[in-house]
Structure formats: structure tokens, C-alpha cells
């Protein structure tokens, strides 16, 4: 029976992905900064493990507690919406610490066992913001674009050891806690000169033609984790799929 370790499982895409892999009969290591047992099925195939991907000691402890891993899903991420002009560099670094360096650190921690076994998959969850430019998310997009480039290069590097690396690119998911989780981080990031523009953007987001559900992402992560065709990019959600086709 295979084991998947998924980061960022307290809500949203990570939580639904953990439920999906469990429903498919896998062992699931669901990691969260603040562990909550009540959000996942009670099962001897589900373990909730504390993990902060920005802290090396937390990563080391989580990997040790998890045992052998067949698939790593780097899903943990934080959002940011606002005008770049007034975004503090400390905030930009905070976003990169989780969205970029956290993914790299988790990958580096898991790779030795995958390489030694000559098997396994790493799935990095980015965003459809990497498929087409979007306004007021410059720092967030940069953090995810970095992982797109990182993943594409790493996929070549690890072919030598029969380890597969995949990208999942979710669309806009209004039912997730993406915005609320970043509320404090986004305070003051829409200054007065940008307000009319931001209002138009918010209005367009309030009337999307298509959106991404948590189940869309969970199913695509599952597909990517089991894909043996060499395909790298997997858009998730009807809006992301449409964007990928248009680029």
C-alpha cells in the first residue's frame, strides 16, 4: 500500500486531496501547522503530523515521523493580493518562504529516500496565475512561477533515478480560505490611487465564468501522482484548463 505525504491539509485543496487519496486506499500523512484530527476520516491509514515548511527542524521531525513516502504533494501555500508598489519586502519574503523555499526544502528532505529506491513522485501545486498574467498578485505569481521553473528543471534531473516530478496548476477557488488566510498580510495593500482599478478586478472575480473546486484539484493531484507518461503540467479546474488551452 502506497503512502502520500501532503502539506497544508488543514483546509482547501490539501484537505480534499488527503480525503481523496484515503478514499483510493492509500496511506495518508496529512501535515498541518496546527494539527487537527477532526477534519479527516478516522482511519488507521490517516496520520496527522505537525509541519511548518518554513522551519528546517519541523521538516526533519515530520519526515522522521512519516516513515517511507511514495508521493510528496507540496500543497502548502499562502496568498497575497495587493499593489506591488506598497508591498513590504518583508511580506514578499514571507510569501516566498512558504510558497517557494518551503517547497524546495520539503523536496530536498524527501529526495534521498526516493532516489535510493529509484521510485516515487513529487507533485508541486502552483496556480493558474502562472498560465496568464493577473493584476495585483505580482509577488504571489512570482513565488509560484519560481516553482514552475524549479519543477521543470528538477524533472529532467530526477529522470536519471526514475523519480517523477509534476506540476498541478489550480484555477480560482473562491470556496477556499485563500483570501481570509491572507487577510492580515494584505492590510493596506490597496492604496487610494489603485482603488478604482482594484474595485474593477474584485468585481470581475465576483462574477467568474468558471471556478475551481477543491475536488477538481484533488482529482488532478491524484492523476498527476499516478501519471507515467512524462507529462509535466496538469491544470486543475475548468478555468485553469481553459487558460492552459489558450496559451
Mean pLDDT of 83-104: 97
Quote the pLDDT of residue 209.
Answer: 75
Active site residues: 140
pLDDT digits (tens, 9 = 90+) for 28-47: 999 999 999 899 999 999 99
DSSP 70-113: SEEEE-------S-GGG--HHHHHHHHIIIIIHHHHHHHHHHHH
- With a cut of 70, say whether residue 180 has pLDDT above it: no
Quote the pLDDT of residue 179.
Answer: 56
Quote the pLDDT of residue 85.
Answer: 97
Q: pLDDT grade, residue 207 (50/70/90)? A: confident
Residues near 3 by beta carbon (within 8 Å), at least 6 away in sequence = 26, 27, 28, 29, 66, 67, 68, 69, 70, 71
Contact 70, 120 (CB under 8 A): yes
Residue 210 phi, psi (nearest 5): -155, 150
- CA geometry: angle 234, 8, 63, nearest 5 deg: 100
Nearest-Å Rg of the Cα atoms of the chain is 18
Q: pLDDT grade, residue 127 (50/70/90)? A: very high
If one compares 133 and 59, the residue with the highest pLDDT of the two is 59
Quote the pLDDT of residue 184.
Answer: 66
Query: Could you give the CA distance from residue 139 to residue 94 in angstroms, rounded to a whole number?
Result: 10
Q: Is 184 helix (H, G, I), strand (E, B) or coil?
A: helix
- How distant is the alpha carbon of residue 227 from its chain centre? 18
- How distant is the alpha carbon of residue 89 from its chain centre? 22
Query: Could you give the CA distance from residue 75 to residue 97 in angstroms, rounded to a whole number?
Result: 14
- All structural domains of the chain with their residue ranges: 3-246
Question: 167 has which bridge partners?
Answer: 124, 233
For residue 157 the three cell numbers come to 534531473
**Mean of the per-residue pLDDT values of the chain:** 94
If one compares 103 and 246, the residue with the highest pLDDT of the two is 103
Report field, pTM of the whole predicted structure over 0.85: yes
Q: pLDDT grade, residue 128 (50/70/90)? A: very high
User: Which of these ranges, 42-51, 95-104, 183-192, has the smallest mean pLDDT?
Assistant: 183-192
Q: Where are the beta strands (DSSP E) in the chain?
A: 3-6, 27-32, 46-50, 71-74, 121-125, 164-170, 233-236
Q: pLDDT grade, residue 181 (50/70/90)? A: low
- For the chain, the straight-line distance linking the first and the last C-alpha, in angstroms and rounded, comes to 38
Q: pLDDT grade, residue 148 (50/70/90)? A: very high
Mean pLDDT of 214-243: 96
* CATH T-level assignment (fold) for domain 3-246: Rossmann fold (3.40.50)
Amino acid at each position: 500500500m502506497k503512502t502520500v505525504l501532503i502539506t497544508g491539509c488543514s483546509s482547501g485543496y490539501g484537505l480534499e486531496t488527503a480525503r481523496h487519496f484515503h478514499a483510493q486506499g492509500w496511506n495518508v500523512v496529512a501535515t498541518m501547522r496546527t494539527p487537527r484530527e477532526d477534519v479527516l476520516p478516522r482511519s488507521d491509514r490517516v496520520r496527522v503530523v505537525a509541519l511548518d515548511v518554513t522551519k528546517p527542524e519541523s521538516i526533519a521531525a515530520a519526515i522522521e515521523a512519516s516513515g517511507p513516502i511514495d508521493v510528496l504533494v507540496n500543497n502548502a501555500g499562502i496568498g497575497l493580493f495587493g499593489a506591488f508598489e506598497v508591498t513590504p519586502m518583508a511580506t514578499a519574503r514571507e510569501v516566498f518562504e512558504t510558497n517557494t523555499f518551503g517547497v524546495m526544502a520539503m523536496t530536498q528532505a524527501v529526495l534521498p529516500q526516493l532516489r535510493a529506491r529509484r521510485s516515487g513522485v513529487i507533485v508541486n501545486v502552483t496556480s493558474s496565475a502562472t498560465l496568464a498574467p493577473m493584476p495585483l498578485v505580482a509577488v504571489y505569481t512570482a513565488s509560484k512561477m519560481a516553482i514552475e521553473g524549479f519543477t521543470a528543471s528538477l524533472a529532467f534531473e530526477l529522470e536519471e533515478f526514475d523519480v517523477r516530478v509534476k506540476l498541478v496548476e489550480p484555477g480560482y477557488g473562491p470556496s477556499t480560505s485563500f483570501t481570509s488566510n491572507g487577510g492580515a498580510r494584505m492590510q493596506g495593500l490597496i492604496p487610494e490611487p489603485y482603488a478604482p482599478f482594484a474595485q474593477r478586478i474584485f468585481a470581475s472575480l465576483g462574477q467568474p465564468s468558471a471556478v475551481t473546486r477543491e475536488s477538481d484539484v484533488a482529482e488532478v493531484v491524484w492523476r498527476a501522482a499516478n501519471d507515467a507518461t512524462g507529462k509535466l503540467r496538469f491544470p486543475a479546474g475548468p478555468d485553469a484548463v481553459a487558460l492552459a488551452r489558450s496559451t
